[in-house]
Structure 1
Amino acid sequence: MRPQKPLGRSRLIAPAAVTAIIAVLGAGFWFAAQFQSSAQHEANAKAPSPGPVLAEVTHGTLAEEMRFTGHVGPSLQTPVTLLPIPETSIAVVTGHPLEAGASTASGQLLTEVNGRPVFGVHTPFAFYRDIGPGDRGPDVEALQIALAARSYPVKPDGRYGAETAAAVRRWYRDSGYDAASRSTTDTEKDRQGGGDAPVTSPSPMPSTGEYVPLTELVAIPTSSARVVQGVQIGQRVAEEGRPDLILGSADLVVTVVVSVAELGDVRAGDGATVSVDGAEIGGVVGDITPTATAEPDAGSPSAAEDSGAASDVTFVVTPATSLPASASRAQVTVIEEIVAEDALIVPVLAVSDRGRGKSVLRTQQDDGTIMEVPVTVLGSVHGEVAVKPTEDRALEAGDRVVVG
C-alpha cells in the first residue's frame, strides 16, 4: 500500500494562486488606466450634455418705457446776494452759519453779518428800502404777514404804525438782537415811493421807532424754503457778481438732463414713476426745454464741431407726493405706451413663429418633458412679448419656457 501525501501544503497553494491572479488583473487595469489614449482623455473631460435654457413666465403690464436718472432739488431756486453794510469796508458772516439742506421759514433768522441779523421774509419781489414808522406799501405788508405768521400781534394792513414797531422790537429781541431805531415826525406820513405828503388823517407817532434796515432783509421765494447753498462763519459776502445764498422752494422735483436722442418720444404731460430710497412715487413730466450751455466763439474749431451735434434738453418731473428730504438722485421711468395689460409675459426668444399668425412656446413639464403651447402674440417691447394661450390655463405665470 502506497503511503499518502500530506494535504496541508496543497491546501495552502490554492488560495495563494487566486490572490496572485487577482493582483495581476488589478495591476493590468491600473496600467491600462494610466495609458489611456488622448481620445479617451478628451471623452472623459467632456461635460454632460446641457439641458434646455429656461425662463419663467411672468404676469403684468407690458409697456414702452424710457428710463432716466435725475437730480432731486427744489422746484424753484433763487440766488441771493446780500447787500453791503453802509459805512463798512467789508461784509462778513459773524454768526449763525447756514448749512445747505437746512429749512427756513418766512420771518426766521437766516444768518448774521457784521454782528447784525439777516432775516428771510417771503415776498414775490425784492425789498427795496428800509422799512420803518410812517412807511406804507406792499413791502410793509409782507413784513407784517411774516410777523403775524410768527404769532406777533400785528395786523397786515400795509401801514407801519406803533403796533408794527412793537412787533419788530419783540421780533429782534426774541432773535437775540436789538432792533434799529430812528427819529420820527409827529404825524404819520405816506412814504410809499419816497413821497413826503402827509395822509389825510394824521395820527400821533412816537418820537423814535424801531425799523428794519434793508440790509437785514432777504426775500425768500416761498413761505418756507430750502437752503441749496448756504454760508459759513468767516465767509465774505455782499460782493457783486456772485450769489451768497441760493434758496429754493420747499417742494422737491426731479430734474433730468438728456440728449435729444435719449429723450425719445417723451412729451410734457406724460405719466412717470419716480424711484427713490426704495419707494416708487407717481409723477408728471413738465415742459421740455433746451439746456442752457455756454456758446463757443463762432470762429473756434469747436463751434463747427458742435453745430451738428445733438443738443441737450431739460425736463422736470413733479411727484404726486413729497419726495424724501434726504434724496439727492432718483430714477425716473416714463411710460410712453401700454402694449398689453393683465398679460402673460415671456422673453422674445421663447416664441416661435409657425407662419400664418401662428406662434408657439415650448414649456417644460414637472417630469422634464417639453410640450408645445400655441399662443397669440399681443405685442412686444425691448425683448419681451405679451402672449395669450389659445387654450385656457395652457400657460400660467410661473411656468418655465424654453429660450435656448
Structure 2
Amino acid sequence: MLIAVVVGALVTGGAGFGLSTVVRSPAQAAAEAGAPERDVLTADVEHRVLRSSLVVRGEVAAERTFTVSAAVNAAEGAEPLVTKAPLRTGDQVRAGSVLVEVSGRPVFALPGDLPAYRDLKPTSRGKDVTQLREALAGRGFPSVADPAAEFGAATQAALEAFYRSLGYDPRPVAEDGADRVEAARTAVTDAERALQDVQAADPREPKAVVRAEEDLGRARDALAEARLQAGAMLPASEVVFLDRFPARVESVAAQVGDRAPGDVMTISSGSLGIRGALTPSQRNAVAAGQKVRILAEATGDEFAGTTESVTDPDGSQQRAQGDGGTEDGAGDTGDGAMAVLNVTPDTKLDAALVGQEVRLTIEIRASRGKVLVVPFSAVSSAADGSTVVTVLAPNGERRQVRVRPGLEGDGSVQVTPSPKDALAPGDQVIVGKAPGSEDATR
C-alpha cells in the first residue's frame, strides 16, 4: 500500500508539471506574446534639406552634328553610286580620314571651324584658304611659300600631295588643263627661239631683243598660269571641316553599290552633352543653371550636371523662367510643341554613351536649410479643416499635430508644427494602414 501511494504521488506530480508547461494564465499569455502587430504603416519625421525636382528623359549627344551629302559629280550620263563605305555607325573619325567614296571620288574630313561653302583653287583668298592651309600643314603638307590667306602654287602642291597620300588623283582646276600646259610650253619654246634668232641676227638692234625678251616673259607667265589651271583644286563637295576630333559616325545611310542619296552619313563632334524634351508646363519649371542628376540606366552610372539652356519651339532661347510647372503636364497652355533642354555634364562622358537614353532629375527648388519633412501621404485634413499629421507613440497612442505645409518635392512635404515642439525628428507619423487592417484613421 505504501508503494502504491508513492507511485500515485509521482504520477500526479508529473502530470501537474506537464500541464504547467501548457496551461498559461491570461496575463502571462499576454506578457509572453509581446506587442501586437501594428495595423498602420508609419514613417520617420526627417530634418533635412528638401528639394523639389522634375524627372524627364534625355539622350546623350555630341555638341555638333553634321550631315555628309553626296554632291560629288559622277561621269557624264552615270548615276552617282557609293563605291566605298569604310565606316560604320559608332566608328571614330580622325582628321584626314576618308568618310565615304562616291563615284570614285573621296569625301574626307579636315579640322576647321568654317564650313566648306565654295571650291578652293588658285586666286582664292580668305579665311577658308587659311583654314585649308593650316589643316594640310597639320597633316604634314605645308605651304609657307604662298602669301598669307592665298591659294598659290605652294598650296596647290601641298593639296596635290595630300590627295596622293589618300590614294586619289586631285581634280584639276580646268578639265583641259593638260592641253593648256602643252600649248603654253610650245609658246615658250617658240619665244625662246625667237629671242635667240634676234640676238644672233643683229645684236646692234636692242629694241628687237627687248621685245623678244618681253614675249618670252609673257609666254612663261602663261605657262605658269596654265600649270595652275592643270593643278589641284579642292571641291567643296569633297571635304567636311570639323571643329574637333576624333568625331563619331552617328548613322550611315548607304552602302557600297547603293545609289547615293542626298545624305549618306551623319557624324558628330565636340564635347558630349544631353538633350531632353520638355512639355510647355515643364518648360515653365526649368531655367538655366539648375542642378541635374543624370542616370545612365543601361550602365547604372550616375553623373551631375547643369541645365545650360532651353530652346523653345520657335527657336528662341530663354535663360530664365518661373518655377510654377508640374511634372504631369497640368496647366499646359501651349499647343503641345516640345521645347529642347540642353544639359552640360560636370564631368566628361564616355563616348560609348552617345545615343543612349538617360534619366534627368532636375532640381527645381530647395528649402533654405534643413526643415521638418514628412511623406506627403502623412498629411491629412482634420474635422475642423486644419492640416494635421498623426503621430504614433511607442506605446501605441495616437495624437494629431497641426502643421502648416510648405515646399513639396519627391513625394515629401515640408511641415511646420503648431506648437513648434509638437513634432520632432524621429517621431513616427502614420502614412497608411497595413494590408488587411481596419482603417488607421479611426
Show the counterpart of 1:251.
271
Note the 1:87-126 alignment, pairs <5 A: 87=75, 88-95=78-85, 97-104=86-93, 107-121=96-110, 122=112, 124-126=114-116
Of Structure 1 and Structure 2, the greater strand share is in: 1
Residue equivalent to 1:169: 160
**Distance verdict in 2 for CA 1:311–1:13, change over 3 Å:** same
Given the superposition, is the C-alpha separation of residues 53 and 169 from structure 1 closer, same or farther in structure 2, using an over 3 Å criterion?
same
**Deviation (angstroms), 1:351:** 5.6
Q: Within 1, Cα distance between the matches of 2:9 and 2:364? A: 84
* CA gap 1:148/1:345 in 2 versus in 1, 3 angstroms: farther
| Alpha-carbon spacing, 1:98–1:157, altered in 2? closer, same or farther (3 Å) | farther
Q: CA 1:84–1:109 in 2, change beyond 3 Å: closer, same or farther?
A: closer
Task: Tell whether the 8 Å contact from 2:292 to 2:307 is kept in structure 1 after alignment.
Answer: yes
Give the Å deviation of 1:157: 3.7
Cα distance change of structure 1 residues 63 and 26 upon mapping to structure 2, 3 Å threshold = closer
Structure 2 CA distance for aligned equivalents of residues 346 and 78 of structure 1: 50
Q: Quick one: distance in 1 between partners of 2:393 and 2:387?
A: 20
- Whether 1:275 and 2:294 are equivalent positions in the alignment is yes
CA shift at 1:164, angstroms? 1.1
Aligned to 2:142: 153
Judged with a 3 Å threshold, the aligned counterparts in structure 2 of structure 1 residues 72 and 320 are, in CA distance, closer, same or farther, namely closer
Please report how far the alpha carbon of residue 244 of structure 1 lies from its aligned counterpart in structure 2 after TM superposition: 0.8
CA distance in 2, matches of 1:290, 1:234: 39
Asked if the contact 1:63–1:340 (Cα under 8 Å) also holds between the matched residues in 2, the reply is no
The AA in structure 2 aligned to 1:66 is: L
Q: How does 1:344-359 map to 2 (within 5 A)?
A: 344-350=372-378
CA 1:56 to 1:284, structure 2 compared with 1: closer, same or farther past 3 Å?
Answer: farther
Sort the Cα spacing of 1:24 and 1:154 in 2 relative to 1 into closer, same or farther, 3 A: same
- In structure 2, the partner of 1:61 is 49
Distance 1:237 1:249, change over 3 A: farther
Shift of 1:391: 6.6
Question: Hey, what does 1:317 align to over in structure 2?
Answer: 342
Q: Secondary structure at the match of 2:135?
A: helix
Identity over the aligned pairs, expressed in percent? 21
Distance in 1 (CA, whole Å) between partners of 2:312 and 2:273 is 14
CA 1:105–1:370 in structure 2 vs 1: closer, same or farther (change >3 Å)?
Answer: farther
Residue identity in the other structure for 1:273:
V
On the 8 A contact 2:82/2:254 being kept in 1, the answer is no
- Is the 8 Å Cα contact of residues 85 and 91 (structure 1) preserved in structure 2? no
Does the CA contact (< 8 Å) of 2:114 and 2:128 recur in 1? no
Residues 378 and 28 (structure 1), Cα distance of their counterparts in 2 relative to 1, 3 Å cut: closer
| CA displacement at 1:275 relative to structure 2 | 0.5
Q: Tell me which amino acid in the other structure corresponds to 2:408.
A: V
* Distance in 2 of aligned mates of 1:237 and 1:128: 25
Structure 2: distance between partners of 1:370 and 1:340: 33
Structure whose residues are more often helix by fraction: 2
**1:367-386 equivalent positions in 2, closer than 5 A:** 377=404, 379-382=406-409, 383-386=411-414
Q: Alpha-carbon deviation of 1:313? A: 0.7
Q: How does 1:200-239 map to 2 (within 5 A)?
A: 204=224, 207=227, 210-212=231-233, 214=235, 217-220=238-241, 222-224=243-245, 225-230=247-252, 234=256, 236-239=258-261
Aligned length: 347
Assess if the C-alpha contact under 8 Å between 1:272 and 1:284 holds in 2: no
1:332 corresponding residue in structure 2? 360
In structure 1, how many angstroms separate the alpha carbons of the residues matched to 2:283 and 2:306? 20
Counterpart of 1:401 in structure 2 is 428
Alpha-carbon displacement from aligned partner over 1:71-91 (angstroms, at most 9, x marks no partner):
221344333321244214442
| Aligned-CA RMSD value | 4.9
Within a 5 Å distance, the mapping from 1:179-194 to structure 2 comes to 179-181=170-172, 183=177
Instruction: Render the CA deviation track for 1:111-164: whole Å, top value 9, x for unaligned.
Output: 3345543212445444443x4444445553442232234453235844222221
Structure 2 distance, partners of 1:19, 1:139, is 116
Distance 2:10 2:233 in 1: 116
SS of the equivalent of 2:261 reads coil
**Quick one: structure 1 residues 213 and 148, their matched pair in 2 at CA, closer, same or farther if it must change by over 3 Å?**
closer
Q: Where does the alignment leave 5 or more consecutive residues of structure 1 unmatched?
A: 1-9, 33-46, 188-197, 292-307
Q: Which secondary structure does the structure 1 equivalent of 2:359 belong to?
A: strand
Structure-2 separation of matches of 1:231 and 1:353 = 61
Q: Please state if 1:49 is matched with 2:76.
A: no
Q: Distance in 2 between matches of 1:153 and 1:326?
A: 35
The two structures have a TM-score, normalised by structure 1, of 0.65
Structure 1 residues 128 and 235: alpha-carbon distance in aligned structure 2, compared to 1, 3 A threshold:
farther
Counterpart code for 1:401 = Q
Are 1:268 and 1:288, in contact at CA under 8 Å, matched by a contact in 2?
no
Maintained 8 Å contact 2:373/2:414:
yes
Task: Determine if contact 1:375/1:387 at 8 Å carries over to the other structure.
Answer: no
Maintained 8 Å contact 1:98/1:232: no
- What secondary structure does 1:236 align onto? coil
SS in 2 for 1:326: helix
Corresponding residue of 1:286: 310
Q: Structure 1: how far apart are the matches of 2:310 and 2:278?
A: 14
Shift of 1:347: 1.9
Q: Which amino acid aligns with 1:347?
A: P
Residue deviations 1:170-200, cap 9 Å, x none? 323443445455637789xxxxxxxxxx9xx
Counterpart of 1:266 in structure 2 is 285
Aligned-partner residue type, residue 391 of structure 2: R
